[in-house]
Every structure is written in structure tokens, then in C-alpha cells.
Amino acid sequence: MKSTIIKEELNPGLKSSLYSNFSNYLDAILELTDNAVSNRINNKKIKVEILLSKNKLTIINHGGYGMKLADLDFFTKWGKPKKRSSYDIGQYSQGGKAAMGYLGRSMMVIASPNGVKDQYRIEDYNLHDTSKLKEYPVQKIKGDNIDGCVEIEVGHLTKKIKEKDLKSKLANIYRPLIENGLLDLYINGEILHPETYPLDLDFNIEKFNFIINNNKVWGWIGRLGPRTGIKGGLRCYSRGRLVRDKEFFGHPDASYKGTLNFLFGEIYLDFIKVMTNKTDFDRDSDQWAQVSKIMFKILQPHIDELLGREIEEPSLEEIERLKQARNIVSDLLKMKQKFDKGLGINGEDYGQKPSEEKGDIKIKTKPEKIRGKYKPATPPPVDAVGKRRRLKEFMDWEVRPMAESLRSKIDKSKNGEVLAINNIYSGYKIAKGNTIYLIETAAIQLACPSDDENITYQDYLVRFDELYSFFCDNLDIAKDNLRKKSK
């Protein structure tokens, strides 16, 4: 009996299905950006510009390989395999074309190869006509630059694109390439910079690396600071591009216990296949299984530590007490500055040695005064001469959980320095975060030397003792001042 042969074929209508392979415009634009980034020459920075208007999206890459006429011809072949470089983010030869159909109704490609001024252009004014496979007349024109360049224009946009969201997404996705100097990425003329990770700087980052089937896996594990708004877990990259985040490799995540959200890090998995639209890795692959097994063991002590940690957010009462203490210290610092200038607390002449006058040397003497409410207990000697140290001031204070052995620290913020006080430190708990404890903690940090100072430990103790003594002796005055201001 003669066998019957059934032959498979691809219908042009398949393109409509591929157009719908995206859940949002951001993923579609990422596909086009992946193509632009992958066009780079090894170890050479590439510049990618994205121009966005109401009806048109343009993505241009400069300084890469560009496209020869044969490359442009290959670009129009849906799903045709090609040999890719080790840093090519692309996988299946269909994502960029599908993204154009998802985003708009027309497209134009202008390409020039590296080292040649020739440019080639093709256009399609009706991407959504999928009744047949297209034929594109190629227009050849002379360019002005020999750097490789590819310009993709998608017109008649069908999606509303939010520029702010796009900037945040792209800076986040291509972070390693940007930070390592391999990519300059612009949107409407503004260069993108990833935001610094809000890590707990008191935690020592653990770096790791291992080999799977002659392929290197590497990364690091750290801790997020409190209340960062960022989801914990490891960020998983393929060839410099974020594919997956919030990964715990088989361990429970923050939905099991909130402290697990402090776990944070990065892992680079360049050899594991990714899904068509690069939203995840092939989790059924042997490579993923092997990596997961090893990472589960590496993460185990971190998970154990975080499961044993309790989150103790400060109460509203603690926050209010902190504000009051900060206002008191602010007033005390103003008093201290006046005192150091020899003005005294209430305008009295008392403090550091005044400058000497030329001619006869005259040193003002102070009458002996009875120590009372308005006189500091430890005034500087009247004959003290030397460099007056400018007291530190803080833009803000905050109370939050930190490492249990840390009393306080100075953090950097966008507005300046912040005094962070640890509410799970044993001393804080015993004192119940009272006002005196908070003021003492501030004095400890205020007395610390500046970056350009070189003082001994004994000098620091003397400085702290004098400052804290001043604070305590004039505490009631500061409280009275604040009460008067509040009336």
C-alpha cells in the first residue's frame, strides 16, 4: 500500500499570532531594543537612541556592525536560524518583527554596514496585512557616516507608550551593560542611568561562582535595606539582559515570611535558553535544574538567617519621640554654636578665647559665676586656642531595624546625611528608646571626626564627653524653647 505524505507549511497568517505574543508595549519595545543592543561589536560601546512621539517610535543603534544588504534580507525571514555571537541577546529570529506588528501599523528599516557609507531602506505601510508574505523593494542611498547603524521606525502606533515607565524599565533591564560601559542608552535625548541598589551596607556581600558543563555561573548575594519598595530575590541575567527577578531557587519567598524580602542579589546565566519573549528561562532544561540545585545550597544559610529574623517596625509613638529628640538636639546645637563663639547661652560673653588685639595684649577675663540653670557645666577654657571644629548637622533622623549589633549609623540620602537609629539594638530596647537615649546616640555620631580629621580615640572620648555633658546640662532650656515655639 502506497503511503500518504502530509507536508507541513507555514501560512502568512501566523504573523498575526506572533504579533499577539506580547502582554504589554514594554515587552515589545524590549524586543526591538534587544536587537539594537545585540548589534554591538565585542568589547566596544554601542549607542542606542529611542525617539518617542505620539504616533511614532524610532530605535537607532550607532557604532555596531550595522547591516549589509544580506543581513537586511535575512531580517525579513521569519524564524530562520542564524549563527549568533556569544553576547547576542536574540534567540528565535522573529521577536523584533512581531514587536513592530504589535506596536504599530507601519515600519521602516534603514541600515548601513560598519565601514561603508551605503544605506539600505525597506518600508511596509500595512504590517497588519498578513494575507501573504511580503516582498520589499530595497532603496540604496549614500550615507554620511561609516559607523554601522540600524534605524527601526514603527509608525501609526496602536499602543499608548508612557515615557517615564519606559525609561525606568530599560535602565533596569540593561543595568549590567550600562554599568560596564558597553551601552549608552537614550530616550528622547536623555541618557539613562540605573538607580543604585538600596542595599544594607552593613551586610558583607557574598560572591559566588561555579561551573556547569564548562559554563561559568557567577553572581552575588546581599541584603536590601528596610522599606526600599523593592522585591527581594535574585535577579537573573542572560548576556547582560535581565530575564527574571525575585528568584529564590526553590526556597520560600517573602510571601512565606516578610523577612525573606531582605534577600537580594544577581546571577548571570548566559548559557540557559530563554523563552521566546525573554520573560523567563527554560525551567525544564537540565542546565536550569543543575543551577537550581547548587543555588539552593548556596542560599540555604541566608534563608535560615532571615527566617530567624523578626521585623520590628517602629511604632507611631517611637517615631514621634524621635522627632521630639531631633528638635531638642537641633536647638542644643544652635546653643552650642553660640557658646563656642563666646556669646553664652543668653548672650553672655563666655566661651573661647577672643582674638588678641595688636599693641598691648588684652585678654578679657570672666567674673566667677555661680553655676546655675543657664550656665553650661563644662565651658571651654577661657585660654583655649585652636581650630574651632564645626559641629555636624543632620538633614533628618529615622528609627528602623538594622543589624542587631549596630546602635546607629550615618546614611546618605538624596537630601544629605541621615542619622539612622536601630530600634532592635539591645540598648534601645532596654531604654525603650527614651529621649535621653536618643540624644546620647546623636552625640556619639556628632562627636565623630570628619573625613579630613585625624584624632586619637582618647580625643574622641573627650569630645563626646564635653558635647554630651553640654546637651544634658542644657536639656531643660532646649525643652523650654521648643514649648515656647509651639505656642
Q: For residue 469, count CB atoms less than 10 angstroms from its CB and return exposed for 0-12, middle for 13-18, buried for 19 or more.
A: middle
Q: What CATH number is associated with residue 210?
A: 3.30.230
Separation CA 375–CA 298 (nearest Å): 60
Alpha-helix residue ranges (DSSP H) falling in 63-191: 69-75, 95-103, 163-173, 175-179
- State whether 289 and 410 are in the same domain: no
CA dihedral 327, 332, 335, 337 (to 10 degrees): -100
Type of residue found at 446: L
- State whether 288 and 409 are in the same domain: no
327 is a domain residue: yes
- State whether 256 and 377 are in the same domain: no
26 is a domain residue: yes
Separation CA 149–CA 129 (nearest Å): 28
Q: Measuring CA to CA, which residue among 309, 336, 294, 286 is closest to residue 477?
A: 336
243 is a domain residue: yes
- State whether 397 and 334 are in the same domain: yes
Asked whether 130 and 98 are in contact (CB, 8 A), the reply is no
95: phi then psi, degrees, rounded to nearest 5: -65, -45
Number of domains in the chain: 3
Mean pLDDT along residues 322-342: 88
148-183 pLDDT, tens per residue? 899 999 999 999 999 999 999 999 999 999 999 999
Asked whether 375 and 470 are in contact (CB, 8 A), the reply is no
- State whether 152 and 34 are in the same domain: yes
- State whether 181 and 157 are in the same domain: yes
Q: Which of 307, 324, 341 is the last residue of a domain?
A: 307
Q: What pLDDT is recorded for position 346?
A: 54
79-137 pLDDT, tens per residue? 776 676 666 676 656 778 889 999 999 999 999 999 888 899 999 999 999 888 889 99
- Residue located via cell numbers 563666646: 342
Type of residue found at 118: D
Q: Which of 290, 307, 324 is the last residue of a domain?
A: 307
Q: Measuring CA to CA, which residue among 180, 183, 200 is closest to residue 192?
A: 183
200 is a domain residue: no
4 is a domain residue: no
Q: Range of 216's domain?
A: 206-307
- State whether 155 and 227 are in the same domain: no
Q: What CATH number is associated with residue 97?
A: 3.30.565.10
Q: Measuring CA to CA, which residue among 398, 423, 420 is closest to residue 411?
A: 420
Mean pLDDT along residues 243-249: 96
181-225 pLDDT, tens per residue? 999 999 999 999 999 999 998 899 999 999 999 999 999 999 998
449 is a domain residue: yes
198 is a domain residue: no
- State whether 285 and 393 are in the same domain: no
- State whether 166 and 246 are in the same domain: no
Asked whether 434 and 321 are in contact (CB, 8 A), the reply is yes
- State whether 297 and 399 are in the same domain: no
- State whether 133 and 242 are in the same domain: no
Q: What pLDDT is recorded for position 373?
A: 41
Q: Which of 289, 307, 325 is the last residue of a domain?
A: 307
- State whether 161 and 109 are in the same domain: yes
Separation CA 357–CA 379 (nearest Å): 23
Asked whether 453 and 473 are in contact (CB, 8 A), the reply is no
430 is a domain residue: yes
